[in-house]
Structure 1
Amino acid sequence: MARILYSLILYLLSPLIIFYLYVLRGKKNGGYRHHFAERFGFLATKKQDILIHCASVGEVLAATPLIKAIKQHNPKLSILVTCNTPTGREQIKNNFQDSVNCCYLPIDFPCATHRFLKRVKPQLLCILETELWPNLVAQSNKRGIKVLILNARLSVKSQQGYQKVMPLTKVIMNSISALASHNQDDANRFIELGLKPEKVRVFGSIKFDITPTNEQLHKVAALKEQYHNERFIWVAGSTHPVEHELILSAHEKLLKALPNALLIIAPRHPEQFDKVAELLKNSAMSFSRRSEDNYRNQQIVLADTLGELQCLYGVANISFIGGSLIKRGGHNPLESAAFSVGVLAGPHTYNFDHIYPELISAQGAETVTDENHLADTLIALSNDAEQTIKLGHQAAKCVANNQGAISKTVNLIELYLES
């Protein structure tokens, strides 16, 4: 009954959902209008062995080593990777070329999900983190498709949200075959929502299983040469509106103390590239756009390309991870840490409560309260090369000490493929 009511509400809201995706989001990013039929389960993809859902870019990046490990262990398996956003889709293409198939996950309308699963017929549905769509998981379970929730995390706030719709939450929990969580606290929250304890494993986060490739290291070396690594370089990655201005304010203050400093700013969403460029045009600071590759010793580089942020972190003396000076919950700091680059973040990192405490405890990251504190910290680090190097070393050490979740997750997937 709960799922029927949920589906009815979705159908009633369907004009607004379509308007939001096609008109509003499509206006900001034309990619939302491409492949739109896939949103309703119409796709050319044939039967696949495994369906892996990654909501957007962050989940795709986290899942990439896992998916490559699955392919390495089982090269004949066909894999379909789904996402919700154009940037996620582009990241899948960049990371895998034609070695996996990709499409949008349909909106959770019963008919769209039915059409989609009937077409794909996977043995396994693997969902990264907590993208739990009731019709998707319930219909998969009904069809005998095993549902695995991988790298699962559940904040107290999210748990409270699920508790408000317990009849629907029970449908979801009863449809899950197995869940691999970050830590025991996350596991306990799922169990409190009704997931049977025997279905839960605690594997740690696959996001720690990140190691720079030789190709990335070569690219970092080339970027360092291009951006004159004798300069003090900091990268502000995955920044958001309002935060962009705070970052630029901090850099202005840094330049007064260190005129040769370089900021590389990478907005989280492509639709923000031109808006940040406009902010820079209206500032007193010189800048170049990465996409135009016209760097001439300017004070700021606008990283308006996709798929390069990890390597840009590797160029830096120190990184700042966006979404944290404002209440967005922060983004993944481990892409920087893996390159032995220490991390700064604002106070709002609740989306990564399973990572930041570990990184801060290991002395690989520091928290700043606002843009002035950020600027003061950057100035202090620019004058203390030993501390800056130590932050990077401890960040990388923290990553190495927490690795191993991917091999455990691959073993879990293989167990359910065989069953």
Structure 2
Amino acid sequence: MEPLGATVIAAPLDLGPVAPRFVRLIRPDLFLLVETDFWPNWLHCLRRSGVATLLVNGRVSAQSHARYQRFALFFRPMFRTFSLLAMQTAADADKMIALGVDTERVFTLGNLKFATAPAATGRRDGSNRPTKVAWGFAPAAPLWICGSTHPGEEAMLLQVYGRLRGDLPDLQLLVAPRRIERRGEIHTTARAHGLNCRTRTGDGVQQGPVLILDTIGELAGCYAMAEVVFIGGSLVAAGGHNPLEPAAAGVPVLFGPHMEDFAEIAAALTACGGGRQVDSVDALTAALRGILADAALRRTMAAAAAACVRANSGVVEHHIEAVARLLAGSTAHR
């Protein structure tokens, strides 16, 4: 479905006369490029045509930076075609400047992925939040939520849960698989670990310490009732998932080593103390044991996670200001 007032068309091949013809036909006032999908011929053509260009959500990994430096004769002129480069972090901006881009064209405007987070509350007492009792959990017992888990991951998480129950026999667990049709597979895995579990859509027992969330759209609303959250797709090589929803709810966040798709957000949460990255089942067990045993630590991590989201809440407005500035300049020169 196309947004109101928008026309979606395929981008041209970045070859020979194709891009110049495309630019002549479209006659754009502004060109926005997201992150790192660079098209050199297209960018040079836009520059020659006097079209303002803006890189949004720009990032430069260590690997990319080494490649840009190695082939600087190719990349430096391409980066210089941009009217403005809006980078996610100051470190990203410094890397662009080191590559020879003029400092007045490089800005640190933050990560637009923070705009996907709900408003950070950092509170756990809102009347509109689901209660543990309503979800069939014991109200006073701690709850660990594992969100958007992937194949091969649940077995590790259930192993950790079994270990933790030796010290915390009342610990409760909510597992929300990325694909809800995997509920039966996870149920079988739980039984293999000696655990009885229930499903959200099941007609049987609706109370108990282990729940498989096999519905769509309810996970985000559950995070606020957890003592700690683990982000799925990160103990296995699946790129991870967005940790901002539990962070905005004011809950400590844990994730594995594979957060490639959300590396900057994971790094921000780790740096502020609202999240922790673990690299193994043993490390996850130790981190959970420490967090669940220390209420003061949980409060500190929860507050830091929510503050991290709040600190980046103006990222969209900053980008809109940059767009408005470029459009004003583009209109003035036409």
SS in 2 for 1:150: strand
Matches within 5 A, 1:367-378: 367-378=277-288
2:332 is matched with which residue? none
> Partner of 1:130 in structure 2?
36
Larger radius of gyration, structure 1 or 2?
2
TM-score by structure 2 length?
0.74
> 2:129·2:221 contact (CA, 8 Å) conserved in 1?
no
- CA gap 1:327/1:213 in 2 versus in 1, 3 angstroms: closer
The residue matched to 1:148 in structure 2 has which SS? Answer: strand
1:379 lines up with 2:286 in the alignment: no
Q: What pairs with 1:165-314 in structure 2 (closer than 5 Å)?
A: 166=72, 169-170=75-76, 172-208=78-114, 210-212=117-119, 221-222=129-130, 224-227=132-135, 228=137, 229-268=139-178, 270=179, 273-275=180-182, 277-284=184-191, 285-290=195-200, 292=201, 296-304=206-214, 307-314=217-224
Which residue number corresponds to residue 232 of structure 2? 322
Amino acid across the alignment from 1:189 = K
Q: Is the 8 A contact 1:265 1:303 kept in 2?
A: yes
Are residues 362 and 289 of structure 1, via their aligned partners in 2, closer, same or farther at CA, if it must alter by over 3 Å? same
Taking only aligned residues, the RMSD between alpha carbons, in angstroms, comes to: 4.0
Taking structure 1 as the reference length, what is the TM-score of the superposition? 0.61
- After superposition, the C-alpha distances for 1:173-203 in whole angstroms (9 at most, x for unaligned) are 2442211112221112223445333221122
Provide the aligned length of Structure 1 versus Structure 2: 318
Render the CA deviation track for 1:230-289: whole Å, top value 9, x for unaligned.
Answer: 442222234444434322322232344445433333445x4xx43464143243134455
Which amino acid is 1:340 matched to? G
Structure 2 vs 1, CA of residues 115 and 303 (structure 1 numbering), >3 Å: closer, same or farther? farther
Q: Per the alignment, in what secondary structure is the counterpart of residue 151 of structure 1?
A: strand
Could you tell me how far apart the structure 1 residues matched to 2:302 and 2:9 are? 37
Q: Is the 8 A contact 1:220 1:315 kept in 2?
A: no
Structure 1 pair 141–365 and aligned structure 2 pair: CA distance change class (3 A): same
Q: Tell me, which stretches of 5 or more residues in structure 1 are unaligned?
A: 1-43, 46-97
SS at match of 2:93: helix
Task: Indicate which of 232, 243, 260 corresponds to 1:333.
Answer: 243
In structure 1, what residue type is equivalent to 2:282? N
Give secondary structure in 1 for the equivalent of 2:60.
Answer: coil
Q: By percentage of residues, which structure has more helix?
A: 1
User: Identity percentage over the alignment?
Assistant: 29
Q: CA deviation at 1:360?
A: 3.3
Letter in 2 for 1:281: T
Secondary structure of 1:222's aligned partner: coil
Secondary structure at the counterpart of residue 236 of structure 1: strand
Q: Structure 2 CA distance, aligned partners of 1:116 and 1:315?
A: 52
The gaps in structure 2 that reach 5 residues or longer are 330-334
Query: What secondary structure, in the 3-state scheme, does the structure 1 residue paired with 2:130 have?
Result: helix
Gap change, CA 1:119 and 1:185, over 3 Å in 2: same
> 1:342 Cα shift?
1.0
What secondary structure, in the 3-state scheme, does the structure 1 residue paired with 2:164 have?
Answer: helix
CA contact (8 A) 2:120 2:307 kept: no
Distance 1:279 1:160 in 2: 42
Code of the aligned partner of 1:364: G
Contact preservation (8 Å) 1:182, 1:203? yes
